[in-house]
């Protein structure tokens, strides 16, 4: 059986050259970078090199503006809480996009319980931030604007440069979450005028266990983890040296390969979506069409009349690894908040699958996925009462309405006695 990994948004395999670079730092060069002897100074040098590689990837002015954390979630927590606490006396208002990652949304909710207020700026049907709403949301009390570069769910590229201009006009620091874009799209923190930027190397063939936070020298930030004075006093705790070294190599390779990665995944993205759209009826792409407004690695699709977890399981049984934003795959039994924010019909959110391509994905892989997915949809529709009821005109399609029958949501409410959330 062919194995096709299409969950690069969750994790990527470590680059062999990154792995090689990491090895000596487990055994030979095991020192603590805070130590003042030879062992410490050697690894301190390695951290410096990695900081330079990170700075080059995102076009930061200085490697001193790079801080290492444990992962993207910690970086987001530090960015949001660290800026909020540092500017507490100036104001207690934050502005975020409604479709931020949970590490941002939940950090903001934590602050709201402590007296901060937050305005969540809405998005259009393709997930694009409403710039005029963002502009209006900023008040004299606003101490931070947080906007992601690329949406983790639906691949929408946000107008970050425009957001940066609005923020610098208003004198409010901007935090850009680049978790879904670093290593796959050019990032220029200086051109954006971003005060903070975070990303995770394990999304671009680096190791897990390390996150990066860029902080412009002018931005005020206090530590949220207390202890020693590692990372310029912004993040206490011994650095994960081997991971940081491997991450640096991954960042350097990503910078060199960026154009080739974009070209390769862009071609496969178009082939995959064209194949699915042509061969699977009643399927919808969520987010912008493949092109300048969408990251080249992501496809987020909704297949009507069937549920997402069943699709995910059958993909897995056929060697295809994918993700889903359906309520059935979430422990909270709620559909992805991103799909809710773009106003996707609940029935379509239920049938959601997310496929993310990588540098090793091939044309053969993509063709196998299309062929296999067609069979999976057929099998699940054969089991679905909704498909049958659509055929008989009892319920209608959301994607291609026929004008016959009631909506799926109405039907679901009728048979469950309550409206779907």
Partner 1 sequence: MSETYTLYNSTVMDHFMHPRNMGDLKDADGVGEVGAAACGDIMKISLKIKDGKIEDARFKTFGCGSAIASSSMATELIKGRSIDEAMNFTNQEVVDALGGLPPVKIHCSVLAEEALKAALEDYIRKHPETASKLQTPVPAAA
* Neighbouring residues of 6: CB distance < 8 A, sequence distance ≥ 6: 320, 321, 322, 355, 356, 357, 361, 369
Per the DSSP assignment, residues forming a β-bridge with 215 are 196
Nearest Cα to Cα of residue 347 among 391, 395, 306: 306
Binding site for partner 1 (CB under 8 A): 305-310, 313, 316-317, 319, 321, 326-329, 331, 333, 335, 346-347, 350, 382-386, 388, 411-421
From residue 304, give the alpha-carbon distance in Å to each of 14, 126, 300, 354.
36, 18, 13, 15
The minimum distance between CB 330 and partner 1, in angstroms, equals 9
| C-beta closer to partner 1: residue 156 or 350 | 350
| C-beta closer to partner 1: residue 22 or 306 | 306
Rounded to whole angstroms, how far apart are CA atoms 406 and 384?
17
The minimum distance between CB 415 and partner 1, in angstroms, equals 4
- Does residue 97 carry a catalytic annotation? no
The minimum distance between CB 200 and partner 1, in angstroms, equals 24
| C-beta closer to partner 1: residue 211 or 308 | 308
Exposure string (b/e) for 393-402, b if CB count within 10 Å is 16 or more?
Answer: eebbbbbeee
| C-beta closer to partner 1: residue 273 or 387 | 387
| C-beta closer to partner 1: residue 23 or 406 | 406
| C-beta closer to partner 1: residue 281 or 319 | 319
| C-beta closer to partner 1: residue 222 or 328 | 328
Q: Which of 97, 167, 315, 328 is catalytic?
A: 328
The minimum distance between CB 419 and partner 1, in angstroms, equals 8
Rounded to whole angstroms, how far apart are CA atoms 94 and 110?
12
The minimum distance between CB 313 and partner 1, in angstroms, equals 5
The minimum distance between CB 24 and partner 1, in angstroms, equals 32
The minimum distance between CB 314 and partner 1, in angstroms, equals 8
Cα 277 to its chain centre, rounded Å, is: 24
Residues that are catalytic? 328
């Amino acid at each position: 059986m062919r194995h096709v990994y299409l969950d690069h948004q969750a994790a990527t395999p470590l680059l062999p050259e990154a792995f090689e670079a990491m090895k000596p730092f487990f055994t030979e060069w095991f020192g603590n970078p805070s130590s003042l002897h030879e062992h410490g100074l050697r690894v301190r040098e390695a951290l410096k090199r990695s900081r330079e590689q990170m700075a080059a990837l995102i076009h930061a002015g200085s490697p001193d503006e790079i801080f290492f954390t444990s992962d993207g979630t910690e970086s987001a927590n530090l960015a949001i809480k660290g800026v909020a606490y540092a500017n507490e006396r100036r104001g207690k208002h934050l502005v975020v996009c409604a479709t931020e990652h949970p590490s941002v949304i939940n950090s903001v909710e934590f602050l709201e319980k402590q007296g901060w207020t937050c305005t969540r700026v809405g998005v259009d049907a393709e997930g694009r931030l409403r710039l005029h709403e963002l502009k209006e949301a900023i008040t004299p009390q606003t101490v931070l604007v947080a906007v992601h570069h690329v949406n983790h769910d639906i691949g929408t590229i946000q107008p970050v440069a425009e957001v940066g201009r609005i923020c610098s006009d208003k004198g409010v620091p901007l935090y850009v979450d680049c978790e879904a874009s670093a290593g796959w799209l050019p990032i220029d923190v200086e051109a954006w005028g971003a005060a903070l930027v975070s990303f995770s190397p394990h999304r671009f063939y680096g190791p897990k266990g390390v996150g990066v936070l860029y902080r412009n020298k002018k931005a005020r930030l206090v530590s949220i983890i207390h202890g020693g004075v590692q990372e310029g006093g912004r993040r206490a705790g011994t650095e994960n040296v081997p991971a940081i070294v491997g991450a640096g190599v991954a960042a350097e390779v990503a910078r060199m390969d960026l154009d080739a990665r974009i070209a390769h995944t862009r071609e496969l993205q178009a082939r995959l979506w064209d194949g699915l759209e042509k061969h699977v009826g009643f399927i919808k792409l969520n987010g912008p069409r493949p092109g300048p407004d969408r990251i080249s690695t992501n496809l987020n699709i909704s297949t009507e009349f069937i549920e997402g977890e069943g699709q995910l399981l059958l993909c897995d049984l056929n060697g295809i690894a994918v993700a889903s934003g359906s309520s059935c795959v979430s422990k909270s039994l709620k559909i992805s908040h991103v799909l809710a924010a773009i106003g996707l019909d609940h029935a379509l959110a239920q049938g959601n699958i997310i496929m993310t391509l990588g540098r090793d994905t091939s044309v053969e892989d993509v063709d196998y996925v299309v062929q296999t997915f067609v069979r999976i949809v057929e099998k699940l529709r054969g089991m679905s009462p909704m498909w049958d009821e659509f055929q008989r005109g009892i319920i209608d399609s959301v994607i291609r309405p026929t004008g016959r029958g009631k909506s799926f949501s109405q039907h679901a409410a009728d048979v469950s006695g309550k409206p779907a959330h």
